[in-house]
Protein backbone atom coordinates (compact mmCIF):
# COMPACT_ATOMS: atom_id res chain seq x y z
CA UNK A 1 0.00 0.00 0.00
CA UNK A 2 1.24 3.46 -0.87
CA UNK A 3 2.59 5.27 2.15
CA UNK A 4 1.23 8.57 0.83
CA UNK A 5 -2.28 7.32 1.47
CA UNK A 6 -1.89 8.27 5.11
CA UNK A 7 -1.70 11.94 4.26
CA UNK A 8 -4.52 11.58 1.75
CA UNK A 9 -6.72 10.04 4.41
CA UNK A 10 -6.31 12.90 6.82
CA UNK A 11 -7.83 15.20 4.21
CA UNK A 12 -10.89 12.98 4.34
CA UNK A 13 -11.37 13.22 8.10
CA UNK A 14 -10.56 16.95 8.05
CA UNK A 15 -13.31 17.53 5.50
CA UNK A 16 -15.80 15.53 7.58
CA UNK A 17 -14.87 17.40 10.78
CA UNK A 18 -15.03 20.82 9.10
CA UNK A 19 -18.49 19.99 7.76
CA UNK A 20 -20.07 18.67 10.96
CA UNK A 21 -18.15 21.20 13.06
CA UNK A 22 -20.78 23.72 11.99
CA UNK A 23 -23.39 21.61 13.77
CA UNK A 24 -21.65 21.53 17.16
CA UNK A 25 -24.14 22.32 19.90
CA UNK A 26 -27.11 22.76 17.58
CA UNK A 27 -29.01 19.83 19.04
CA UNK A 28 -29.42 18.18 15.64
CA UNK A 29 -27.36 15.00 15.51
CA UNK A 30 -28.89 13.83 12.24
CA UNK A 31 -27.81 16.91 10.32
CA UNK A 32 -24.36 16.80 11.91
CA UNK A 33 -23.97 13.16 10.87
CA UNK A 34 -25.22 13.86 7.34
CA UNK A 35 -22.83 16.77 6.88
CA UNK A 36 -19.87 14.66 7.98
CA UNK A 37 -20.89 11.71 5.82
CA UNK A 38 -21.43 13.82 2.71
CA UNK A 39 -18.06 15.58 3.08
CA UNK A 40 -16.25 12.32 3.73
CA UNK A 41 -17.87 10.65 0.72
CA UNK A 42 -16.97 13.54 -1.57
CA UNK A 43 -13.33 13.73 -0.46
CA UNK A 44 -12.83 9.98 -0.64
CA UNK A 45 -13.54 9.97 -4.34
CA UNK A 46 -10.51 12.16 -5.06
CA UNK A 47 -8.14 9.54 -3.65
CA UNK A 48 -6.29 7.06 -5.86
CA UNK A 49 -7.70 3.84 -4.46
CA UNK A 50 -10.06 1.07 -5.47
CA UNK A 51 -11.93 1.11 -2.17
CA UNK A 52 -14.85 -0.82 -0.76
CA UNK A 53 -16.61 0.28 2.41
CA UNK A 54 -16.82 -2.77 4.69
CA UNK A 55 -17.72 -0.95 7.89
CA UNK A 56 -19.88 2.07 7.29
CA UNK A 57 -23.11 3.87 7.86
CA UNK A 58 -25.31 0.78 7.47
CA UNK A 59 -26.65 -1.54 4.80
CA UNK A 60 -27.35 -0.13 1.35
CA UNK A 61 -31.10 0.23 1.94
CA UNK A 62 -30.69 2.17 5.19
CA UNK A 63 -27.78 4.50 4.33
CA UNK A 64 -27.65 6.78 1.30
CA UNK A 65 -23.88 7.15 1.48
CA UNK A 66 -20.89 5.17 2.66
CA UNK A 67 -23.05 2.09 3.00
CA UNK A 68 -21.47 -1.35 3.37
CA UNK A 69 -20.38 -2.53 -0.06
CA UNK A 70 -20.17 0.95 -1.59
CA UNK A 71 -17.22 1.57 -3.89
CA UNK A 72 -15.15 4.68 -3.23
CA UNK A 73 -12.03 6.27 -4.68
CA UNK A 74 -10.86 6.76 -8.26
CA UNK A 75 -10.89 3.00 -8.90
CA UNK A 76 -7.16 2.68 -9.50
CA UNK A 77 -5.04 0.20 -7.47
CA UNK A 78 -4.48 -0.54 -4.64
CA UNK A 79 -7.61 -2.46 -3.81
CA UNK A 80 -8.47 -1.65 -0.21
CA UNK A 81 -11.18 -2.16 2.39
CA UNK A 82 -12.42 0.85 4.28
CA UNK A 83 -13.97 1.35 7.71
CA UNK A 84 -15.60 4.71 8.42
CA UNK A 85 -17.38 6.56 11.15
CA UNK A 86 -17.76 10.06 9.67
CA UNK A 87 -18.99 11.37 13.02
CA UNK A 88 -18.26 9.18 16.01
CA UNK A 89 -20.27 10.62 18.86
CA UNK A 90 -23.22 12.29 17.11
CA UNK A 91 -24.90 13.08 20.43
CA UNK A 92 -21.83 14.70 21.92
CA UNK A 93 -21.39 16.80 18.80
CA UNK A 94 -25.05 17.86 18.92
CA UNK A 95 -24.62 18.86 22.56
CA UNK A 96 -21.18 20.42 22.12
CA UNK A 97 -19.68 18.04 24.67
CA UNK A 98 -16.07 16.80 24.52
CA UNK A 99 -14.74 13.89 22.47
CA UNK A 100 -16.43 13.57 19.07
CA UNK A 101 -14.22 12.72 16.09
CA UNK A 102 -14.38 12.03 12.38
CA UNK A 103 -12.57 8.81 11.60
CA UNK A 104 -11.55 6.37 8.87
CA UNK A 105 -9.31 3.32 8.54
CA UNK A 106 -8.01 1.47 5.53
CA UNK A 107 -6.70 -2.09 5.21
CA UNK A 108 -5.67 -4.41 2.38
CA UNK A 109 -8.63 -6.37 1.04
CA UNK A 110 -10.05 -8.70 3.71
CA UNK A 111 -8.10 -7.05 6.53
CA UNK A 112 -11.03 -5.92 8.67
CA UNK A 113 -13.31 -8.10 10.76
CA UNK A 114 -16.69 -7.73 9.12
CA UNK A 115 -18.43 -6.72 12.30
CA UNK A 116 -22.17 -6.15 11.96
CA UNK A 117 -23.66 -3.09 13.61
CA UNK A 118 -24.07 -4.66 17.03
CA UNK A 119 -22.43 -4.50 20.45
CA UNK A 120 -18.85 -5.44 21.26
CA UNK A 121 -17.22 -5.87 24.64
CA UNK A 122 -13.85 -4.10 24.55
CA UNK A 123 -10.72 -3.69 26.58
CA UNK A 124 -7.95 -1.43 25.30
CA UNK A 125 -4.60 -0.19 26.62
CA UNK A 126 -1.50 1.59 25.33
CA UNK A 127 1.94 0.12 24.49
CA UNK A 128 3.18 0.27 28.10
CA UNK A 129 0.51 -2.26 29.12
CA UNK A 130 0.74 -4.42 26.04
CA UNK A 131 0.31 -8.15 26.67
CA UNK A 132 -1.20 -7.93 30.14
CA UNK A 133 -4.91 -7.53 29.36
CA UNK A 134 -7.39 -10.41 29.36
CA UNK A 135 -11.06 -9.79 28.61
CA UNK A 136 -11.98 -12.98 30.51
CA UNK A 137 -10.68 -11.46 33.76
CA UNK A 138 -12.38 -8.86 35.95
CA UNK A 139 -11.54 -5.18 35.35
CA UNK A 140 -9.76 -5.09 38.71
CA UNK A 141 -7.53 -8.06 37.84
CA UNK A 142 -6.62 -6.32 34.60
CA UNK A 143 -5.92 -3.07 36.43
CA UNK A 144 -3.57 -4.83 38.85
CA UNK A 145 -1.51 -6.15 35.96
CA UNK A 146 -1.60 -2.80 34.12
CA UNK A 147 -0.33 -1.00 37.23
CA UNK A 148 2.45 -3.56 37.56
CA UNK A 149 3.42 -3.19 33.89
CA UNK A 150 3.43 0.60 34.18
CA UNK A 151 5.24 0.58 37.50
CA UNK A 152 2.58 2.71 39.15
CA UNK A 153 -0.17 2.26 41.74
CA UNK A 154 -3.71 1.27 40.75
CA UNK A 155 -4.83 4.61 42.22
CA UNK A 156 -2.75 6.31 39.53
CA UNK A 157 -4.70 4.68 36.71
CA UNK A 158 -7.64 6.27 34.90
CA UNK A 159 -10.23 4.13 33.16
CA UNK A 160 -12.78 5.29 30.61
CA UNK A 161 -16.14 3.57 30.23
CA UNK A 162 -19.50 4.53 28.76
CA UNK A 163 -21.96 5.73 31.40
CA UNK A 164 -24.54 2.96 31.02
CA UNK A 165 -26.42 0.77 33.52
CA UNK A 166 -24.90 -2.26 31.77
CA UNK A 167 -21.54 -1.13 33.18
CA UNK A 168 -22.61 -0.82 36.81
CA UNK A 169 -20.75 -3.95 37.89
CA UNK A 170 -17.62 -2.99 35.97
CA UNK A 171 -17.66 0.47 37.56
CA UNK A 172 -18.14 -0.98 41.04
CA UNK A 173 -15.23 -3.38 40.53
CA UNK A 174 -12.94 -0.59 39.28
CA UNK A 175 -13.84 1.68 42.20
CA UNK A 176 -13.25 -1.17 44.66
CA UNK A 177 -9.55 -1.27 43.75
CA UNK A 178 -9.22 2.51 43.77
CA UNK A 179 -8.64 3.40 40.12
CA UNK A 180 -10.07 6.65 38.76
CA UNK A 181 -12.90 6.62 36.23
CA UNK A 182 -14.03 8.92 33.42
CA UNK A 183 -17.65 8.14 32.66
CA UNK A 184 -18.49 9.24 29.13
CA UNK A 185 -21.93 9.72 27.62
CA UNK A 186 -20.92 8.54 24.13
CA UNK A 187 -17.95 8.00 21.85
CA UNK A 188 -15.59 5.24 22.95
CA UNK A 189 -13.21 5.29 19.95
CA UNK A 190 -11.28 8.41 20.97
CA UNK A 191 -10.62 7.21 24.55
CA UNK A 192 -9.49 3.81 23.24
CA UNK A 193 -6.87 5.64 21.17
CA UNK A 194 -6.08 7.96 24.08
CA UNK A 195 -4.78 4.97 26.08
CA UNK A 196 -1.88 4.86 23.60
CA UNK A 197 -1.21 8.60 23.54
CA UNK A 198 1.57 9.57 25.93
CA UNK A 199 0.32 12.16 28.40
CA UNK A 200 -3.39 11.77 27.66
CA UNK A 201 -4.01 10.62 31.21
CA UNK A 202 -6.12 7.68 30.04
CA UNK A 203 -4.84 4.19 30.84
CA UNK A 204 -7.62 1.80 29.88
CA UNK A 205 -10.90 1.70 28.00
CA UNK A 206 -13.35 -0.99 29.03
CA UNK A 207 -16.97 -1.90 28.43
CA UNK A 208 -19.57 -2.54 25.79
CA UNK A 209 -19.95 -0.20 22.80
CA UNK A 210 -20.41 -0.51 19.06
CA UNK A 211 -18.65 -3.31 17.16
CA UNK A 212 -17.77 -1.19 14.09
CA UNK A 213 -16.16 1.33 16.42
CA UNK A 214 -14.28 -1.55 18.02
CA UNK A 215 -12.70 -2.39 14.68
CA UNK A 216 -11.75 1.27 14.11
CA UNK A 217 -10.16 1.45 17.56
CA UNK A 218 -8.30 -1.81 16.86
CA UNK A 219 -6.86 -0.34 13.64
CA UNK A 220 -5.62 2.70 15.55
CA UNK A 221 -4.16 0.75 18.46
CA UNK A 222 -2.35 -1.60 16.11
CA UNK A 223 -0.66 1.42 14.51
CA UNK A 224 0.39 2.67 17.94
CA UNK A 225 1.60 -0.61 19.42
CA UNK A 226 -1.23 -0.68 21.92
CA UNK A 227 -3.28 -3.71 22.82
CA UNK A 228 -6.96 -4.49 22.53
CA UNK A 229 -9.39 -7.38 22.80
CA UNK A 230 -12.95 -7.45 21.55
CA UNK A 231 -15.79 -9.92 21.85
CA UNK A 232 -19.10 -9.56 20.01
CA UNK A 233 -22.15 -9.35 22.27
CA UNK A 234 -25.14 -11.08 20.72
CA UNK A 235 -28.52 -9.84 21.91
CA UNK A 236 -30.88 -11.41 19.36
CA UNK A 237 -31.15 -14.39 17.03
CA UNK A 238 -31.22 -11.93 14.14
CA UNK A 239 -27.75 -10.70 15.11
CA UNK A 240 -26.49 -14.26 15.18
CA UNK A 241 -27.90 -14.86 11.70
CA UNK A 242 -26.39 -11.67 10.34
CA UNK A 243 -23.01 -12.44 11.86
CA UNK A 244 -23.14 -15.93 10.37
CA UNK A 245 -23.85 -14.39 6.97
CA UNK A 246 -20.73 -12.28 7.41
CA UNK A 247 -18.65 -15.39 8.03
CA UNK A 248 -18.58 -15.43 11.84
CA UNK A 249 -18.93 -18.96 13.22
CA UNK A 250 -17.54 -18.79 16.76
CA UNK A 251 -19.82 -16.41 18.68
CA UNK A 252 -17.64 -16.44 21.82
CA UNK A 253 -14.42 -15.66 20.03
CA UNK A 254 -12.12 -13.04 21.48
CA UNK A 255 -10.47 -10.95 18.78
CA UNK A 256 -7.09 -9.28 19.13
CA UNK A 257 -6.40 -5.93 17.46
CA UNK A 258 -4.50 -7.80 14.74
CA UNK A 259 -7.48 -10.10 14.14
CA UNK A 260 -9.83 -7.13 13.81
CA UNK A 261 -7.49 -5.08 11.62
CA UNK A 262 -5.03 -7.22 9.68
CA UNK A 263 -2.25 -6.23 7.30
CA UNK A 264 -0.78 -2.79 6.57
CA UNK A 265 -3.43 -0.57 8.14
CA UNK A 266 -3.78 3.20 7.86
CA UNK A 267 -5.86 5.18 10.35
CA UNK A 268 -6.90 8.82 10.54
CA UNK A 269 -9.09 10.86 12.86
CA UNK A 270 -9.84 14.57 13.22
CA UNK A 271 -11.29 16.18 16.33
CA UNK A 272 -14.79 17.64 16.00
CA UNK A 273 -15.20 18.69 19.64
CA UNK A 274 -12.10 18.80 21.87
CA UNK A 275 -11.24 15.59 23.67
CA UNK A 276 -8.48 13.82 25.58
CA UNK A 277 -5.89 14.19 22.82
CA UNK A 278 -7.38 16.09 19.87
CA UNK A 279 -8.72 19.63 19.85
CA UNK A 280 -12.00 20.23 18.07
CA UNK A 281 -12.60 22.40 15.00
CA UNK A 282 -12.14 26.12 15.65
CA UNK A 283 -13.48 28.62 13.12
CA UNK A 284 -12.22 32.16 12.66
CA UNK A 285 -12.60 34.87 10.04
CA UNK A 286 -12.08 33.23 6.67
CA UNK A 287 -11.01 29.85 7.88
CA UNK A 288 -10.73 27.17 10.52
CA UNK A 289 -8.16 25.08 12.35
CA UNK A 290 -8.27 21.31 12.78
CA UNK A 291 -6.22 18.81 14.72
CA UNK A 292 -5.80 15.23 13.51
CA UNK A 293 -3.91 12.04 14.14
CA UNK A 294 -2.82 9.87 11.24
CA UNK A 295 -0.79 6.69 11.35
CA UNK A 296 0.26 3.59 9.52
CA UNK A 297 0.88 0.21 11.12
CA UNK A 298 3.76 -0.79 8.84
CA UNK A 299 6.03 2.09 9.84
CA UNK A 300 4.32 2.85 13.17
CA UNK A 301 4.73 6.54 12.48
CA UNK A 302 2.15 8.51 14.43
CA UNK A 303 1.57 12.01 13.15
CA UNK A 304 -0.36 14.77 14.85
CA UNK A 305 -1.40 17.24 12.21
CA UNK A 306 -2.58 20.75 12.94
CA UNK A 307 -4.04 22.28 9.80
CA UNK A 308 -5.08 25.81 8.95
CA UNK A 309 -7.82 25.88 6.34
CA UNK A 310 -8.40 29.05 4.32
CA UNK A 311 -11.88 29.11 2.88
CA UNK A 312 -10.86 31.51 0.10
CA UNK A 313 -8.96 28.64 -1.43
CA UNK A 314 -11.26 25.67 -0.88
CA UNK A 315 -14.93 24.84 -0.51
CA UNK A 316 -16.47 26.98 2.22
CA UNK A 317 -17.41 24.97 5.30
C1 LIG B 1 -22.92 4.56 21.61
C2 LIG B 1 -21.92 5.53 20.99
C3 LIG B 1 -20.54 5.02 21.12
O4 LIG B 1 -21.24 2.82 21.31
O5 LIG B 1 -22.94 4.73 22.95
C6 LIG B 1 -22.62 3.10 21.29
O7 LIG B 1 -22.02 6.77 21.53
C8 LIG B 1 -23.39 2.04 21.99
O9 LIG B 1 -23.96 2.27 23.22
O10 LIG B 1 -19.63 5.93 20.57
P11 LIG B 1 -25.52 2.56 23.52
O12 LIG B 1 -26.36 1.73 22.60
O13 LIG B 1 -25.76 2.22 24.93
O14 LIG B 1 -25.71 4.04 23.25
C15 LIG B 1 -20.49 3.70 20.49
O16 LIG B 1 -21.07 3.74 19.23
C17 LIG B 1 -19.08 3.35 20.17
O18 LIG B 1 -18.68 2.09 20.23
MG1 LIG C 1 -20.23 5.79 16.01
MG1 LIG D 1 -21.24 7.80 13.41
Return the domain boundaries, the chain.
4-110+265-310, 119-260
Which neighbouring-strand residues pair with 1? none
Count CB neighbours of 74 within 10 A: 12
88 is annotated as contributing to ligand binding: yes
Question: Looking at residue 63, what is its pLDDT?
Answer: 84
Question: Half-sphere exposure of residue 283, counting CA atoms within 13 Å on the CB side?
Answer: 14
156 is annotated as contributing to ligand binding: no
| 172-189 pLDDT tens trace | 999 999 999 999 999 999
Q: Which residues line ligand 1 (CB under 6 A)?
A: 88-89, 162, 164, 186-188, 209-210, 213
Task: Please name the helix (run of DSSP H) or strand (run of DSSP E) that holds residue 42, with its range, or none.
Answer: helix 29-44
Residue 130's nearest CA partner among 302, 18, 257 is 257
pTM, 2 dp: 0.96
| Cβ–Cβ < 8 Å for 17, 271 | yes
Q: How does residue 317 score in pLDDT terms, banded at 50, 70 and 90?
A: confident
Gap from CA of 29 to ligand 1 centroid (Å): 14
Nearest ligand atom owner, CA of 186? 1
Overall average pLDDT of the 212-232 stretch: 98
Q: How does residue 2 score in pLDDT terms, banded at 50, 70 and 90?
A: low
Residue 62 has pLDDT above 90, yes or no: no
| Interface predicted TM-score (ipTM) of this complex, two decimals | 0.91
Of 188, 190, 219, best ligand 1 pocket probe by most atoms within 8 Å of the beta carbon: 188
| 76-123 pLDDT tens trace | 999 999 999 999 999 999 999 999 999 999 999 999 998 888 999 999
Question: Looking at residue 316, what is its pLDDT?
Answer: 64
CA distance 17 to 39: 9
Q: In the predicted model, what is the mean pLDDT of the chain?
A: 95
**Closest protein CA for atom 10 of ligand 1:** 187
Q: At what angle do helices 168-176 and 139-150 cross, to 10 degrees?
A: 40
| 292-303 pLDDT tens trace | 999 999 999 999
Non-local CB neighbours of 249 within 8 Å, separated by 6+ positions: none
Q: Which of 3.30.2130.30, 3.20.20.70, 3.40.190.90, 1.20.1250.20 would CATH assign to domain 119-260? A: 3.40.190.90
CA distance 47 to 42: 10
DSSP letter for each residue of 213-232: HHHHHHHHHHHHT-EEEEEE
- Cα–Cα–Cα angle for 96, 17, 167, nearest 5°? 55
Residue 7 has pLDDT above 70, yes or no: yes
Question: Looking at residue 60, what is its pLDDT?
Answer: 80
CA distance readout (Å), 86 to 65, 100, 152, 268, 271: 11, 10, 37, 11, 11
Gap from CA of 284 to ligand 1 centroid (Å): 32
| 14-40 pLDDT tens trace | 999 999 999 999 999 999 999 999 999
| 258-293 pLDDT tens trace | 999 999 999 999 999 999 999 999 999 999 999 999
Residue 64 has pLDDT above 90, yes or no: no
Q: How does residue 313 score in pLDDT terms, banded at 50, 70 and 90?
A: confident
Gap from CA of 86 to ligand 2 centroid (Å): 8
Residue 145 has pLDDT above 80, yes or no: yes
Q: Which CATH class is domain 4-110+265-310?
A: alpha beta
What 8-state DSSP symbol labels residue 32? H
| Cβ–Cβ < 8 Å for 24, 280 | yes
Gap from CA of 137 to ligand 3 centroid (Å): 30
Residue 270's nearest CA partner among 2, 5, 14 is 14
Amino acid sequence: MDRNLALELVRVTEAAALACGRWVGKGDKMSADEAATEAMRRTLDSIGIDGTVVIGEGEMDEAPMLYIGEKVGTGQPPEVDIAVDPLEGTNICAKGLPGSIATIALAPKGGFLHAPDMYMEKIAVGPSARGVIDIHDSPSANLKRIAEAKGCRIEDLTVVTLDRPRHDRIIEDIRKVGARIHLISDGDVAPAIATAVEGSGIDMLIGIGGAPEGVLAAAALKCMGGDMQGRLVFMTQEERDRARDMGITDFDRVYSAEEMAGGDVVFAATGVTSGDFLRGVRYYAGGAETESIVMRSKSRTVRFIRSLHYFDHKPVY
